Chain A
Amino acid sequence: MSENKMKDSTYRSPDERLAEKKSKYTPKSIFLNGVLFENPALRLVLGTCPLLAVTISAKSSLFMGLAVIFVLTASEAIISLLRNVIPNKVRIPAFITIIATFVTIVQMLISAYFPALNESLGIYIPLIVVNCILLARAETFASKQKVLPSILDGLSMGTGFTLALLLMGSIREILGCGTFFDMQLPLFGTVFEPMMFFMLPPGGFFVFGICICLVQFLMKKQEKHASGKSSTPCGAAGDSSDCLSCGGCSLCKGKEE
């Protein structure tokens, strides 16, 4: 499912893609893409497994995010370096091997220096190997771009993922535990009883949905603001085919006349 979504949102005709390659990727655009417009977690809905599992506290979210930043940046750099060497037919196994190498390094470092952290992150560190964010960035970006943009892309995508993790982790820890980075907060947990709900898987899905909703809302607002042209409230681009596909939600009523 997440792969389809990714394809949909990044699909462009070959001509457009060529044009983009030449013009679009400036350092600033790469950074904004990673952190905001194509935020892997909240916009592309990739890597949801660790996102839901690890975010029970802000601390573990942060360290998970840092691990992903490291693996993503390093593997994108190497894949970009080797992009002309890797045969097209076996590129996926090659990417996975490179990613797995860095994940193994991270795993060994963490278990050597931060055993407690290793305990709390558990299986999710090795699972970075199969995290679709890494493969998606390797496939769509690093295998086609030069080394420096790839490193920047890895950093910004990783940062975007970390921010999403941190956002969810903070919400869940504050509401579910009454603490923030293990610090007792003044109001939650003493006056108000912390809500167990947010520590449990349903709470994870709930917060995830709310965060996606929030980011989507902000994006729509920003798009509307940026384009300035009259678009339909539901976000469809304004021509008739899009209006049909939006299913006629109540938002458009009264605007069509």
Chain B
Amino acid sequence: MKLQVSHSPHVRDKATTASIMRDVIIALLPATFAGWYFFGIRAMIITFVSIAACVGFEYICRRVMKRNNTISDLSAVVTGLLLAMNLPVSIPLYMVIVGAAFAIVVVKQMFGGLGNNFVNPAIAARIFMVIAYPKAMTSWTIRTGSWLSLRSVAAVSSATPLTMIHTSEAPSMWDLFIGNKAGCIGEVCILALLIGALYLILRHVIRPWIPLAFIGTFFVLSFLFGHNNVFNFTGDLTTLTGWSDLFYESCYMICSGGLVLGAFFMATDYVTSPLTTKGKLLFGMGCGILTFLIRYYGNLAEGVSFSIILMNILTPHIDDWTMGKPFGEVKENVKA
């Protein structure tokens, strides 16, 4: 008998890239539908344009680079869907295509395709667009006319809740949770995002460590050091309303912006997040700290995408620090 020595992995699973990506798409659908509902038919068009552009660029790129075709692994569809969810509904369509080209051609294929991209393509494209088209990317609109009307979305321009938390126009907590607010297409409905996230966790597609550490760290930090924090709190803590007032701002900040979308669907990207549980926790905490710092002390209103991309870049190092030592390889500290 021939003894074979091979590289890990030795244990095989039925899951394929395509099946995992299909699960991610299913999990993203509730939030997508909610976005379509709240923003009208234009949101739908943007979603389809983004997905079509991503798949198209993937096909062309693989063709030009003379590599095998990878459309069927559905990763380009996920990228397109995530990108669309990260865009405001009023964005011109050609900008969506430019963003898709950046995500697929530059971030993904130029570094070698799926598995070799060092940052999440959808987030990188979003950041590229925020820098390239600052005005279009930060003009938030609320639908005023009928659902089918293409023009109505541009009628009312409104600030994202992040920029107006202290004004009286800020939406109520319930509106914020259910999605009746200004923002990007996919980030508004927290309820739908949580349903999708639950699906992913129950299907064992993602582990909950990164989102928990991410949101938890952010919650604790804004609870301790936010504008309305535990130290300068003046309310009455003997009543329930006093406690809910105390937690109000922290919860409000979690439900606004892209925090939930980013934490569950983009920070957990397999390629760009650490492998070990300890690493995942570190990664999530880093994201939380950076998001807190950018939101409270930075110039930009939203810091989720920047914090995730920064931690993406640190991921190889986190893996180095937290990777267990192979059996039989533990060495004493040898004197130099």
A contact residues vs B (CB 8 Å cutoff): 192-193, 195-198, 200, 202-203, 213, 250
Contacts and interface: CB of A to CB of B under 8 A. Distances in A.
Contacts of A196: 131-134
A30 B134 CA distance: 46
B136 A202 contact: no
B132 A192 contact: no
A250 B132 contact: no
B319 to A, nearest CB: 19
Interface residues of B, number: 13
A193 B95 contact: yes
Contacts of A198: 132
Smallest CB-CB A-B distances: 3 pairs:
A197-B132, A195-B132, A197-B131
B131 A202 contact: yes
Given A193-B136, A250-B112, A200 B92 contact: no
B67 to A, nearest CB: 8
A107 to B, nearest CB: 34
A250 B114 CA distance: 13
B131 A200 contact: yes
A198 to B, nearest CB: 8
A228 B94 CA distance: 43
A186 to B, nearest CB: 16
B306 interface: no
B59 interface: no
A235 to B, nearest CB: 15
A166 to B, nearest CB: 23
B131 A192 contact: no
A250 B95 CA distance: 33
B146 to A, nearest CB: 28
A197 B128 contact: yes
Interface in B121-151: 128, 131-136
A198 B131 CA distance: 9
22 contacts: A192-B94, A193-B92, A193-B95, A193-B133, A193-B135, A193-B136, A195-B98, A195-B132, A195-B133, A196-B131, A196-B132, A196-B133, A196-B134, A197-B128, A197-B131, A197-B132, A198-B132, A200-B131, A202-B131, A203-B131, A213-B110, A250-B112
Please classify the interface of chain B as helix (H, G, I), strand (E, B), loop, or mixed, using the class held by over half of its residues: helix
Contacts of A193: 92, 95, 133, 135-136
Interface string B13-30: 000000000000000000
Given A196-B131, A197-B132, 9 more contacts: A193-B92, A193-B133, A193-B135, A193-B136, A195-B133, A200-B131, A202-B131, A203-B131, A250-B112
Contacts of B95: 193
A197 B132 CA distance: 4
A188 B206 CA distance: 43
A161 B133 CA distance: 31
Interface string B199-226: 0000000000000000000000000000
A149 B58 CA distance: 49
Nearest to B95: A193
Contacts of B133: 193, 195-196
Contacts of A197: 128, 131-132
Nearest to A191: B94
A196 B112 CA distance: 27
A198 B128 CA distance: 10
A191 to B, nearest CB: 8
Contacts of B132: 195-198
Contacts of B136: 193
Contacts of B134: 196
Nearest to B67: A250
A202 B127 CA distance: 11
Contacts of A250: 112
Contacts of A202: 131
A221 to B, nearest CB: 13
Nearest to A198: B132
A208 to B, nearest CB: 14
A196 to B, nearest CB: 6
B167 to A, nearest CB: 28
Most chain B CB neighbours (cut-off 10 Å) among A192, A193, A198, A250:
A193
B294 to A, nearest CB: 17
Nearest to B65: A251
A87 B51 CA distance: 66
Contacts of B112: 250
Nearest to A197: B132
Interface string B109-124: 0101000000000000
Interface string B309-334: 00000000000000000000000000
